Amino acid sequence: MKSIVKQPAALAVIAGISSLTFAPSSMAGIELLNVETDKGNTKVVLGGYAKADIRHVNGDIAYQDYWVANFPGGEPIETSHTGFNVRESRVNFKITHGEVSGFIEWDFYGGGGNEVVSNSSNERLRHFYITYKNWMVGQNWSTFMPLAALPESLDFGGPHVGEVFIRQTQVRYTSGNWQFAIENPETNGDGDNGTPASAVGGTGTQIDRDESIPDLVVRYNHKADWGQLSFGTLLRKVDQGGIDETALAANFSGRIKTGGKDDFRFQVSVGEPGRYVAAALTPDIVTTPADEIVVEETTAFTVAYRHFWSDSWRSTVFYGAAQTDVLERERSHWGINLITDVTEQMNAGVEFGEYAIDDSNLDAISSVYAQFSLKFNF
């Protein structure tokens, strides 16, 4: 048996998996093990990053470490708060043996601890999946989610309000430009609009006991010298709260090269995507003013432009928004940043932006934020 252990270098590229924001175009891992036997080659690669955020939020919407599409607290709260955290940091391992590979990753948004003494944070499982030839099985980004269209941002995930952003267990098959998947079904909401707007997921009567049909996703990806385009469709069964319907949604996205390293990114989602789009914006099932229980419709979009001032300095300006049909919720998030590569593996940046809520049942409110981030990729 021949065993080879290599030191840190650009030995493995884990692109679009361990990081979606504030990262170079590829991430180098640390190859911990490279063993060749008569049964094949086995490699173990350590990856991830350490990220420290300093964030100030001021306005009428309560402080959050990052914005999604929710209404924290459910009412306007005069806010002027500065927070420090490292919870976006993450660690992952990729293990490859022949044609089979496994990937597992954690971050530290799992709750726990307090800011009085320990400031501890529990780990949270992000990804855990197996790939073999054209198959991928396990927890990963949804096949409905267009990774290439996400803006580079310091705010964790960027403008969630306009994005498809979801991880879950699934079975995916890729054939050329086509991807087909069955994914974990989950219906959020049973028509009770009294559920807090800040709730993510559900308990009790919100959980559907009859989810027997998986969500179905089909995506087509087209890549060319000028960039890439992608079109995804989502088919879900919504069977609870007194209704039995098939919900359909579509997403169109792209990343277009505009000269040099610059690019324009966009995505648009329409239909009845529910929890897949604009995290925490709305439950799947809502009640109309006429007391009719229906599946909520959502329209959401994100646009972003990234410009390189030099090889080591770049900026992204982005805007995302979403609105619902029945509940008449309308929320948006814009931001602009400046990021520099301090070293090949370390970035630093500042970002300014605003998260706004303009729902029909209250006056328009917003909070502005400023964030400094330092990130070390390994």
Dump pLDDT digits (tens) for 134-156: 999 999 999 999 999 999 999 99
Mean pLDDT over 310-320 rounds to 98
What three-state secondary structure class fits 343?
Answer: coil
Encoded tokens for 299: 């329209």
CA-closest candidate to residue 300, choices 326, 324, 336, 327: 324
Give rounded-to-5 percent helix, strand, coil for the chain: 5, 55, 40
Distance CA(190)–CA(186), nearest Å, equals 12
Least confident of 18-27, 48-57, 110-119: 18-27
CA separation, residue 265 to residues 155, 231, 350 (Å): 17, 14, 20
The rounded mean pLDDT for the chain is 89
CA separation, residue 28 to residues 14, 45, 47, 49, 86 (Å): 7, 9, 7, 10, 21
Encoded tokens for 276: 């897949």
Distance CA(108)–CA(123), nearest Å, equals 4
Distance CA(118)–CA(120), nearest Å, equals 5
**Full set of structural domains in the chain with CATH:** 49-86+117-377 (2.40.160)
pLDDT of residue 189: 75
Q: What angle do CA 284, 107, 282 make, to 5 degrees?
A: 15
Encoded tokens for 105: 């990753």
At 119, is the pLDDT very low, low, confident or very high (cuts 50, 70, 90)? confident
Would the pLDDT of 42 be above 50?
yes
The answer to whether the pTM exceeds 0.85 is: yes
* Cβ atoms within 10 Å of 294's Cβ, excluding its own: 19
CA torsion 279-123-46-29 (nearest 10°) is 40
pLDDT of residue 332: 99
CB under 8 Å to 122, separation ≥6 — which residues? 108, 110, 111, 112, 113
The per-residue b/e assignment along 234-253, b for 16 or more CB within 10 angstroms, e otherwise, is bebbbbbbeeeeebebebbb
Sign of CA dihedral 156, 304, 128, 203: positive
Dump pLDDT digits (tens) for 272-299: 999 999 999 999 988 889 988 899 999 9
What three-state secondary structure class fits 347?
Answer: strand
Please indicate whether residue 132 or residue 239 has the higher confidence score (pLDDT).
132
Running DSSP on this structure, what letter comes out for residue 87?
A: T
pLDDT over 70, % of the chain: 87
